[in-house]
Chain A
Amino acid sequence: MASVKGEGGAGEVVTLQLGGGANHVGSHLWNLVLEEEAHRSPGGATSQDLSVLLAETKTGERQPRTACFDLSGTVGTSYGSGSEESAAETWSTDRLSVSLAEGGHGRWTGDEAGAGYRGYWDEYMNLGHQGRWRSQLITCFPGTWHGVNAFDCYGDGIELFSRQDVREGAFDRVRHLVERCDYLQGFQILADDLSGFGHICSEMILHIRDEVTQSRPLAVVGLRGPFAQDYTVQSNRSETKQAALDCINRAWATYRLSEASDAHIVLDNCWFPPGGESQARTELYETSALAACLVDSLTLGCRLFDSASLGSLRDIMTRLNPRGKKCALAACAYGVVKQGDPEAEVVLRSATRVCPASKLDKGTQSEYYVLRGLQKGGEAGGTISTEREAQDWFVSQWMEGGGGQMGPCPRSFASCGTPHLVPAHYPSTKILSPSARAPVQGGFSLASMVRFSKCDALGNELASLCENFKRVCVKPGSPSVFSVLEGWDLGAEDRLEMMETLETMRSEWAGGNFFDDDDD
């Protein structure tokens, strides 16, 4: 029985994926996790407890503990009724090794994983043998989002979720996942939070708080920028109106999601393929693979066994947010190195729009580092596998880089000796292409360092959001903006309330510098 796990294991984390971007990232995440699971030597020691993320079915398969939500027509096959439908073939280890041996590189080709990939995420997500998990994991919401009325993206979500059957169906999915958990420790929610799924996400959070758990942590990963899907069929509007809509969307997402969650990690301008922003959408497959490694890091601290473990998801959230501040915005930077490269180097350093990389080092309030498969280098050599080693490595890197002025902010580390086992072709950049010395049979691997942090840059972002919102929406000058606000049912009072909440977040943030009030 599961009670054994209850003693030693960490408890379950339930994942929810809301929207196209979220599902692209989620698909990669599960491929990654299931690959890791497949490489566990039976009975042998593993460094991670993947039952945090994976549930066991009656037949003993390990299945992602997730619910994927998207619009009908945005997945390869919807109303999925499982095996009888011919789904595109999902990725398997054999297929990958074949294509690697042929030196496959870059985009999908006929014989590869997800053969027939047409841009739908469910075509490459591992949905179990013959896609039999499809109908268990995927929910398609009906209809299109056309945004022809005064509502924009967020409004589409409002409209969809005003339908009781849709709401209840979605909540039932969550309840089923939770019902399977013996020791639920929290949720991670991936969401396209500037679209209608942002509203759905906030409804989900309210539902979870109301019916599932008052206290267990909720981490939200907001996928914007290169992950954003274009849901609207039409959008013929003036610049002012569009700007106003964008402003409300952002304010709304921050107001409703940051306030209600324990961490709101926003991926905005985070990484663009070599072709630049314009190519980002077509390369969503690659971009989301990177983001998947990042999301994987979020729960690593609580998946590690025994002494390496950082405790529960709650602990990780507390470390990230030591003062328990209301605003849960968090930023992250992400670095990847090619495994086994002697000149191991952080080749990718992305950051969110709310937190440009250059600002990460200033005024940090708290940091949480996740290191995977990094080499210590120097005389000692070897991989970093404990928290202690991670910390030492980090300090040494910092000193070498001429840093030296590391502030005394709370800083925590999770580290895992094994790099990410990357189950498919990764970003088709030169540096990130599969190494010829792929160390793991059937795949190749990536080492990474992810930093989740709270820093002043987020405060700046909040400040500009407040200012914008006040200027554009609190006293709307243009009649078209006014009609939009009306359409959203945002009366003067609601707007003021939103404004106030944003201001409060802002001021809490400003007053929250770890050094300032260290004494009280």
Chain B
Amino acid sequence: MAAAVKQVNAHAETMGSQAALFMNINAAKGLLEVMRTNLGPRGTIKMLVGGAGDIKLTKDGNVLLREMQIQNPTAVMIARTAVAQDDITGDGTTTTVLMIGELLKQAEKYLNEGLHPRVLVEGFEIAKKAALAYIDTVKKPIDSSDREQLRCVAYTSLRTKLQEQIANQLTDNVTDAVLTIRVPNEPLDLHMVEIMHMKHKMATDTRLVNGLVLDHGARHPDMKKYNENCFILTCNISLEYEKSEVNSGFFYSSADQREKMVAAERMYTDERVHKIIDLKNKVCGDDPNKSFVVINQKGIDPLSLDLLVQNGIVGLRRAKKRNMERLILACGGVAVNSVEELTPESLGYADKVYEHVIGEDKYTFVEGVKNPHSCTLLIKGPHDHTIAQVKEAIRDGLRAIKNTLDDGHVIPGAGAFEVGLHTHLKNEVVKTVEGRARLGVEAFAEALLIVPKTLASNSGNDPQEALISLQNEHEKGSMLGFDVETGEPTDPTLSGIYDNLIVKKQIIQSSPIVASQLLLVDEVIRAGRNMRPR
């Protein structure tokens, strides 16, 4: 075969079937070793150091895989699968890498005894089907109106990424955020939770804002910094005259003609501002206790700002497009695209709108809104890396709750599911399989145990001992998991350790596929020479 390839391409470097197979297995084991210490709440934190001293702290498999500089092609392939796992479900990247690594490790034993990889692959396939059927028998229905259950899911997720104290606090924030934006009978749109960060104070000062935090402030020094009883105009109307277009000398033959055009354009802009001022006067009258805030996606030029401030209006320009949507969900009203649409009904409302300045950065809080369907998680922290860490954890937590609501079910965590599935495959499924393919099913069953074993060893316990006591319980029919605090078997449903159904399903589905592909590779060909100057 190698010779044949050489004939086709003289530059190709080839590697024979045995070597190729073991290269793949070794790469997978290597990646497994890197990632295993991250798993679970007691997993350790990795510090990523960039080429010249930049740091990032993370426990998140997804972040690690994306930012580590992986060069081995097999490892890249596994990493991509795991990253895809995160794209689809938001969780389970570490477990996926462990699963693939362990499947290959188990396979290696049999291959050393001369078994053909194809046989194992068949067994994997059978085990996968059985596992997917098994999942449906152990999933627990969840009551989506039960805040406590959703809290547990969020806590399980956050606890695997952050210290207990802060995880605890964020759990409420994350759960309430989801409950705020939830609209009955509509799919949950997590975009309606704005995640904003401030480099300020401590991570524990992170909080949920019932309303919106914008990362900019009013541009006019005389605009009020603190406003109460605010009408909010959310709009996308240009309040600047396009000086650059009109004032250009190029299009006009005479200075006179130009002056006229400039004046006309200015008037046109002013008219729009006046329409807004009219609306303000209409809704606020002369009541000094009412305020009017314009939040515009387009620009507002200094002359327009002057006009607004003279009439007691606060104006923010260049708001984020997505925030226009959020503002309406938070404050009510509609997004206005032209001055013709300006009506009192189009306005939203907030108790207070105020500015907060940290160094060069300004933030505007729109708080105290009536019936919010959008809110903001405001992350605080002393360093960029703390903020990044919290942000990633929050994303995971939100995803976990969303998955739970979408699935309507959860799976008992802490390794209970994996040991349960292992027992099921060993006791029931293997017996139904004829021939050597059962070796594949056994390998699959063994591979699952990597999860409880790793949870045990990461929390400083003996993995074998832990496994034996867990398996004993399972033989007796109680589906227990591993308690990382006590080192004893525990009922995950009692301590509220839940994983997402979709996450487990996805792991069961994708890991054997990649493992099989890697097992069936019988030749690695590096074709071509490097054509680029280095």
Chain A residues close to B by CB (< 8 Å): 1-3, 6, 11, 57-58, 72-81, 85, 118, 120, 135-136, 140, 142-144, 146, 148, 172, 175-176, 178-179, 181-186, 211-212, 215-217, 230, 232-239, 241-242, 278, 281, 309-315, 318-319
Q: A58-B360, A234-B71, A237-B531 are in contact. Are A178 and B318 (CB under 8 A)?
A: yes
Interface contacts beyond A183-B301, A234-B71: sample of 10 additional A-B pairs, CB < 8 Å, sorted by A: A1-B302, A6-B301, A57-B360, A74-B51, A79-B56, A143-B66, A179-B317, A234-B73, A237-B531, A312-B243
Segment among B162-170, B244-252, B348-356 that sits at the interface with chain A: B244-252
Cβ of B221 < 8 Å from any Cβ of A? yes
Contacts of B41-76 to chain A: CB distance below 8 A: 50-56, 66-67, 69-71, 73, 76
Residues from chain B with Cβ under 8 Å of A79 in the complex: 50, 54-56, 384-385, 388
* Interface pair B360/A230, CB less than 8 Å apart: no
For A212, the closest partner residue in chain B by CB is B318
Cβ of B201 < 8 Å from any Cβ of A? no
A52 to chain B, nearest CB (A): 11
B381 to chain A, nearest CB (A): 11
User: Please, how many angstroms separate the alpha-carbon atoms of A6 and B243 in the complex?
Assistant: 9
Total residues of chain B contacting the partner, CB 8 A? 55
Residues from chain B with Cβ under 8 Å of A182 in the complex: 219, 240, 301-302
User: Please, how many angstroms separate the alpha-carbon atoms of A5 and B6 in the complex?
Assistant: 70
For B357, the closest partner residue in chain A by CB is A58
For B318, the closest partner residue in chain A by CB is A179
* Interface pair A77/B52, CB less than 8 Å apart: yes
Q: A148-B73, A238-B527 are in contact. Are A72 and B243 (CB under 8 A)?
A: no
For B72, the closest partner residue in chain A by CB is A148
* Interface pair A136/B360, CB less than 8 Å apart: yes
User: Please, how many angstroms separate the alpha-carbon atoms of A174 and B264 in the complex?
Assistant: 30
User: Please, how many angstroms separate the alpha-carbon atoms of A310 and B527 in the complex?
Assistant: 55
Cβ of B215 < 8 Å from any Cβ of A? yes
For B533, the closest partner residue in chain A by CB is A278
Contact of A183 among B240, B530, B534 (CB under 8 A): B240
Residues from chain B with Cβ under 8 Å of A183 in the complex: 240, 243-244, 301
Main secondary structure of the interface of A (DSSP, over half): loop
B202 to chain A, nearest CB (A): 15
Residues from chain A with Cβ under 8 Å of B306 in the complex: 1, 3
* Interface pair B50/A72, CB less than 8 Å apart: yes
* Interface pair A319/B52, CB less than 8 Å apart: no
Cβ of B260 < 8 Å from any Cβ of A? no
Residues from chain B with Cβ under 8 Å of A185 in the complex: 243-244
* Interface pair B302/A6, CB less than 8 Å apart: yes
Chain B residues close to A by CB (< 8 Å): 9, 11, 50-56, 66-67, 69-71, 73, 76, 199, 215-216, 219-221, 240, 242-245, 247-250, 297, 299, 301-303, 306, 317-318, 320-321, 360, 383-385, 388, 526-534
B359 to chain A, nearest CB (A): 8
Contact of A312 among B71, B247, B534 (CB under 8 A): B247
* Interface pair B318/A175, CB less than 8 Å apart: yes
Residues from chain B with Cβ under 8 Å of A310 in the complex: 249
The 3 closest A-B pairs by CB, nearest first: A185-B244, A179-B318, A73-B51
Contact of B248 among A85, A230, A315 (CB under 8 A): A315
Q: A146-B76, A236-B527 are in contact. Are A230 and B534 (CB under 8 A)?
A: yes
Residues from chain A with Cβ under 8 Å of B303 in the complex: 3, 6
For A177, the closest partner residue in chain B by CB is B318
* Interface pair A230/B531, CB less than 8 Å apart: no
9 A-B contact pairs sorted by A residue (CB < 8 Å): A58-B360, A172-B215, A215-B245, A236-B529, A237-B528, A242-B531, A312-B248, A314-B244, A315-B248
User: Please, how many angstroms separate the alpha-carbon atoms of A232 and B76 in the complex?
Assistant: 14
Q: A172-B320, A179-B216, A315-B249 are in contact. Are A78 and B50 (CB under 8 A)?
A: yes
Q: A142-B67, A143-B66 are in contact. Are A77 and B528 (CB under 8 A)?
A: no
Residues from chain B with Cβ under 8 Å of A136 in the complex: 360
* Interface pair A313/B244, CB less than 8 Å apart: yes
Residues from chain B with Cβ under 8 Å of A212 in the complex: 318
* Interface pair A1/B244, CB less than 8 Å apart: no
* Interface pair A148/B320, CB less than 8 Å apart: no
* Interface pair B244/A186, CB less than 8 Å apart: yes
* Interface pair B321/A311, CB less than 8 Å apart: no
Residues from chain A with Cβ under 8 Å of B245 in the complex: 215-216, 312, 314
B71 to chain A, nearest CB (A): 6
User: Please, how many angstroms separate the alpha-carbon atoms of A216 and B248 in the complex?
Assistant: 12
User: Please, how many angstroms separate the alpha-carbon atoms of A235 and B532 in the complex?
Assistant: 8
For A85, the closest partner residue in chain B by CB is B53
Contact of B320 among A120, A175, A237, A318 (CB under 8 A): A175
For A175, the closest partner residue in chain B by CB is B318
Q: A175-B320, A215-B245, A237-B528 are in contact. Are A78 and B69 (CB under 8 A)?
A: no
